[in-house]
Amino acid sequence: MLELAGVRHAYEGRVVLDLERFAVAPGALIAIVGHNGSGKSTLLRLLALVERPTAGEIRWDGAVVSSPRLRPRAPARRRITLVEQRPVLFRGTVRENLEYGLKLRDTARTAMNGIIGDVVGRLGLGPLLNRRRHELSDGEVQRVAVARALAVRPDVLLLDEPVSSADRAAANALYQALAAERAARALTVCIASHQLEEAYRWADSIRALAEGRLSPVTPENLFRVDLPAGDGTKHVRVGGIDIAVMTDRTGPVVLAVPPTDIFVSLQPLSTSARNVFSGRVTGMSIEHRGAGVHVRADMGGVELVAAVTAEAARDLALAPGKTVVFSFKATAVQVF
């Protein structure tokens, strides 16, 4: 298990990541989601042992492999591969890029050809093998970088926005290649992504970051607001709706509404919920393994996302364009 324990990381005195614990279990596929500046890329660089944390420890199977005083240990680094959002390819052709890491590991030519043929086939890179960097689109560069990473068979693969420049077909090919690799061996994958629908579809676990901390909700239900002075229930304007929140905090904060705390109905219900909004469904996403459905709705110009069971979605006949009511308590709104 790869784990961050009591980690705080700062650049020029500004804390950008503050995590009491972040654990990555063997064989997991984790999606890390959050707004720009939430700390996703920094988290991946720490997990990749590219940077040392300002405070805390990074552990592999319980052993400390990086800390403020401990340079990342080489054996652990060799088991982790990071593909950044704008990857850099080496000089030479696509094939030579794919061969590079295998040559460093003294892989025999026959085995090398087999490995390259496998990743090329999975990611549809055959027509690109003899091309050079300047002959590739940004999306093709990303695919080549992922293939290069898969070729060296890391235990942990970290991907930063791997489909940000890809079309839907290329994105599906990437996720299917990852699924095939994970089915063949115990590969652990962490993906930082803005593609929330893809995260719901492919990931085993979704971890959301807000202001460098773990958040209970994904970015759709995060709102930056200024809370007025006073105690008890407060109302704050977000777009075209007023959200009621129970807090003694004041000033600039981030409000978080967990999708699982939003009750979905077709008509307003008689409940103690202080937040009741009517709007129309704008989209739906089925969770990985079909365990539930994320329902997006426009509430007065504000998009809210609720999580319901597949059975509830069927009973309510939820579909884009349908009028729905979202209800949640003031105490369900979390404040950061």
DSSP one-letter string for 259-277? GGG-EEESS---SS-SEEE
The two three-digit tokens of residue 59, written as one number: 């552990």
Report pLDDT for 217: 64
Q: Is 185 exposed, middle or buried (0-12, 13-18, 19+ CB in 10 A)?
A: exposed
Higher pLDDT, 167 or 128: 128
CA distances from 288 to 25, 82, 200, 292 (A): 17, 24, 6, 8
Report pLDDT for 193: 85
The number of residues in the chain equals: 336
The two three-digit tokens of residue 55, written as one number: 């405070």
Report pLDDT for 315: 95
Q: Kindly indicate the confidence band of residue 321, based on its pLDDT and cuts at 50, 70 and 90.
A: very high
Report pLDDT for 218: 66
Q: Kindly indicate the confidence band of residue 202, based on its pLDDT and cuts at 50, 70 and 90.
A: confident
Q: Kindly indicate the confidence band of residue 73, based on its pLDDT and cuts at 50, 70 and 90.
A: confident
Q: Kindly indicate the confidence band of residue 197, based on its pLDDT and cuts at 50, 70 and 90.
A: low
Report pLDDT for 36: 81
pTM of the predicted model as reported, rounded to 2 decimal places? 0.72
59-73, 132-146, 285-299, 309-323: lowest mean pLDDT where?
A: 285-299
92: left (phi over 0), alpha (psi -120 to 50) or beta: left
Assess whether pLDDT exceeds 80 at residue 336.
Answer: no
Assess whether pLDDT exceeds 60 at residue 89.
Answer: yes
Q: Is 262 exposed, middle or buried (0-12, 13-18, 19+ CB in 10 A)?
A: buried
Higher pLDDT, 168 or 330: 330
Report pLDDT for 290: 54
The rounded distance, in Å, linking the Cα atoms of 232 and 212 is 27
**What is the per-residue pLDDT across 113-161, written as a single tens digit (0 to 9) for each?**
999 999 999 899 999 999 998 999 988 999 999 999 999 999 999 999 9
Report pLDDT for 288: 56
Report pLDDT for 125: 93
Assess whether pLDDT exceeds 60 at residue 273.
Answer: yes
**What is the per-residue pLDDT across 219-240, written as a single tens digit (0 to 9) for each?**
678 888 999 998 889 999 999 9
| Full set of structural domains in the chain with CATH | 2-215 (3.40.50.300), 220-335 (2.40.50.100)
- 3-class state of residue 306 by DSSP: strand
Q: Give the pLDDT mean for 3-32.
A: 94
